[in-house]
């Protein structure tokens, strides 16, 4: 006889699950304690902040910088690569895997929502949720006030414009912006000489 899946196993497999069982609630409470400690440290206590991030997240690179305040649900579902930088008010609802590559920049108020709720109210009232992985490639810049929804992959070297709502996969090497977020254009070698629109580095 097959052993029934736990709510945590359902969550990580993208199946409907209930979030307020003892195991998941306990995991979130543990993460909240660490997040609270992180957010209450003085600005000068960078090493202490980084130690907490290493305890909290499933995997980190050697070098990273997360500006407080920061929020997440579990922490252990989040992986960040080398040279990750997150500006103020980052929120990661990591009810499934959230994989972030190397040399990734987040503007202020970036939110990654791996979790969601069913459309029909009967299912929501039954306390069912779902969660799908989010994957962000290397060398990605996500502008401030951007929301990334469940199940989205953002390709390497891509820039997401401020205020975007990313509901579908975005390919590598593009600028994408909007609600819903759409590809605006490709990033090419001509962009190497420009730091903002048509302003050139040497000017």
Instruction: Please choose, from the candidates 104, 114, 195, 196, the residue with its C-alpha nearest in 3D space to the C-alpha of residue 155.
Output: 104
Instruction: Return the H-helix or E-strand segment holding 112.
Output: strand 111-113
Residue 65: per-residue pLDDT: 98
How far apart are alpha carbons 99 and 77 in whole angstroms?
8
Question: Is residue 2's pLDDT more than 80?
Answer: yes
- Complete DSSP assignment for 135-158: EE-TT-EE-TT-EE-TT-EE-TT-
CA distances from 158 to 49, 106, 155 (A): 28, 12, 6
Domains delineated in the chain: 7-186 (2.160.10.10)
Question: Is residue 104's pLDDT more than 80?
Answer: yes
CA distances from 132 to 13, 28, 60, 96, 109 (A): 8, 18, 21, 6, 21
How far apart are alpha carbons 105 and 160 in whole angstroms?
10
Question: Is residue 83's pLDDT more than 80?
Answer: yes
- φ, ψ of residue 50 to 5 degrees: the values are -65, -35
Residue 203: per-residue pLDDT: 66
Strand-by-strand arrangement of the 64-66 sheet: 64-66, 84-86, 105-106, 141-142, 159-160, 174-177, 182-186
- Percentage of the chain beyond pLDDT 70 is 100
| pTM of the predicted model as reported, rounded to 2 decimal places | 0.96
Residue 136: per-residue pLDDT: 99
pLDDT tens digit string along 144-158? 999 999 999 999 999
Summarize the confidence of residues 172-182 as an average pLDDT: 98
pLDDT tens digit string along 193-203? 998 988 998 76
66, β-bridge pairs:
86
Q: With b meaning 16 or more CB within 10 Å and e meaning fewer, what string describes 139-169?
A: bbbbbbbbbbbbbbbbbbbbbbbebbebbee
How far apart are alpha carbons 133 and 14 in whole angstroms?
8
Residue 155: per-residue pLDDT: 98
| Residues acting as catalytic residues | 117
């Amino acid at each position: 006889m097959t052993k029934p899946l736990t709510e945590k196993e359902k969550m990580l497999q993208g199946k409907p699950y209930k979030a307020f069982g003892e195991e998941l609630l306990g995991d979130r409470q543990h993460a909240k304690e660490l997040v609270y400690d992180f957010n209450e440290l003085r600005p000068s206590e960078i090493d202490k902040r980084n130690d907490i991030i290493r305890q909290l997240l499933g995997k980190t690179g050697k070098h990273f910088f997360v500006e407080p305040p920061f929020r997440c649900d579990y922490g252990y579902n989040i992986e960040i690569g080398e040279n990750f930088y997150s500006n103020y008010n980052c929120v990661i609802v990591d009810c499934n895997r959230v994989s972030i590559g190397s040399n990734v920049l987040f503007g202020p108020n970036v939110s990654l929502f791996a979790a969601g709720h069913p459309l029909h109210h009967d299912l929501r009232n039954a306390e069912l949720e779902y969660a799908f992985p989010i994957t962000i490639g290397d060398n990605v810049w996500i502008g401030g006030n951007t929301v990334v929804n469940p199940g989205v992959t953002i390709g390497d070297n891509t820039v997401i414009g401020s205020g975007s709502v990313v509901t579908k996969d975005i390919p590598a090497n593009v600028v994408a912006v909007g609600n819903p977020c759409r590809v605006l254009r490709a990033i090419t070698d001509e962009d190497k000489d420009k730091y903002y629109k048509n302003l050139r580095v040497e000017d």
